[in-house]
């Protein structure tokens, strides 16, 4: 299966278990991999035969900057669900949500969750 990558999309959201997270918010980084067939798009050079990256970006932004969730797992799940419901050419997607600065005492780069969902799981 062919793949489209949208890497390191950055947004500001208000997700988290702790009240400071939902009040102050924080930066989120999202990676999305879309599994699709790109043969016709490559052959015809026609945007209608592929997935519009700007529209995917807008969907991810809507979820991350929208109503808060407690868990980044829920954010990732909603992104995958929205993509699979809205874009018929996407057969499966991988969504990685990175939280660079969670309220954890210690030294680390970030925390993240990554999920893989296919069309059958988008209901």
| Residues catalogued as catalytic | 99
Q: What is the CA radius of gyration of the chain?
A: 15
CA-CA distance, 117 to 80, in Å (whole number)?
A: 7
Contact (Cβ atoms closer than 8 angstroms) between residue 83 and residue 59? yes
CA-CA distance, 71 to 17, in Å (whole number)?
A: 7
CA-CA distance, 66 to 120, in Å (whole number)?
A: 25
């Amino acid at each position: 299966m062919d793949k489209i990558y949208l890497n390191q999309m950055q947004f500001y959201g208000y997700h988290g278990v702790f009240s400071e997270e939902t009040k102050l918010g924080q930066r989120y980084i999202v990676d999305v991999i879309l599994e699709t067939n790109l043969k016709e798009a490559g052959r015809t050079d026609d945007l209608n035969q592929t997935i519009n990256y700007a529209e995917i970006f807008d969907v991810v932004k809507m979820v991350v900057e929208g109503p808060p969730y407690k868990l980044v797992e829920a954010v990732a799940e909603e992104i995958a669900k929205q993509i699979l419901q809205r874009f018929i050419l996407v057969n499966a997607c991988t969504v990685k949500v990175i939280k660079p600065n969670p309220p954890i005492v210690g030294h680390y780069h970030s925390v993240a969750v990554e999920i893989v969902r296919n069309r059958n799981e988008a209901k």
